[in-house]
Amino acid sequence: MEKQILTRTQEQKKREEIQGNLSRIFHGLSIRAVEGEDRTFELSFSSEEPYSRWWGVEILDHSPGCVDLERLNSIGCVLFNHNRDRVLANILKAWIEDGRGYAKIRFDDDDEADVIYKKVKSGTLKGVSVGYGVELWEEVPANKKSSDGRFTGPCDIAKKWTGLEISIVSVPADPTVGVGRSAEETGIETGRMLDVYIRQLQINKNKY
């Protein structure tokens, strides 16, 4: 029985940064206003819910040491539909709890941010997506267990991943988190991800 740990080279990391990173929309959990704090909300932005990619099933591991939230906590911001030119809010704090990613955010008070803020407050917009990069994958064959025994294949588990940004989105995809991953599987997006995925991984085989 074999496991495959897939890692990126520095050159491949640079190429990924140029071409773009992965993203997923989550929905179905809660986004709630923080009482007594104007324009401030707490939301869930990620979970371990399996997600179908073109190459197979992807799982974001939320075990201790798997998720790097330094960028979200230091310079993180909230976008609309992953558009870097549409910044909506500041991330005050991001953390992992009970196998999910959570964040406390505060909406800006400019006109563009105010439109989305009101739609979130009213419940019209409920989808949340996280943009992220993966540094280490574990490939689990069909009917086999992952190295920690928590997941059953076939699946690819992101064992080391970094949150890059959080987006309020209009198209939901994972039914377990909220305000909620983005279903951006258009031909262009799939082609880009195919190139990123193929070029970013090198395979080291180890027995377990």
Residues β-bridged to residue 93:
104
Model confidence pLDDT, tens digit, residues 157-191: 999 999 999 999 886 544 454 443 343 443 334 44
Would you state the pLDDT for residue 28?
53
Secondary structure element (H or E) that encloses residue 23, with its range: strand 22-26
Residue 146 pLDDT level (bands cut at 50, 70, 90): very high
Q: Is 208 helix (H, G, I), strand (E, B) or coil?
A: coil
Residues β-bridged to residue 136:
7, 160
Q: What does pTM read for this prediction?
A: 0.73
Question: CA-CA distances (angstroms) from residue 98 to 5, 61, 113, 156, 199?
Answer: 25, 12, 30, 21, 33
Assess whether pLDDT exceeds 90 at residue 58. Answer: yes
Closest CA to 28 of 43, 7, 13, 39: 43
Assess whether pLDDT exceeds 70 at residue 12. Answer: no
The mean pLDDT of the chain is 76
Query: What is the mean predicted confidence (pLDDT) over 80-107?
Result: 94
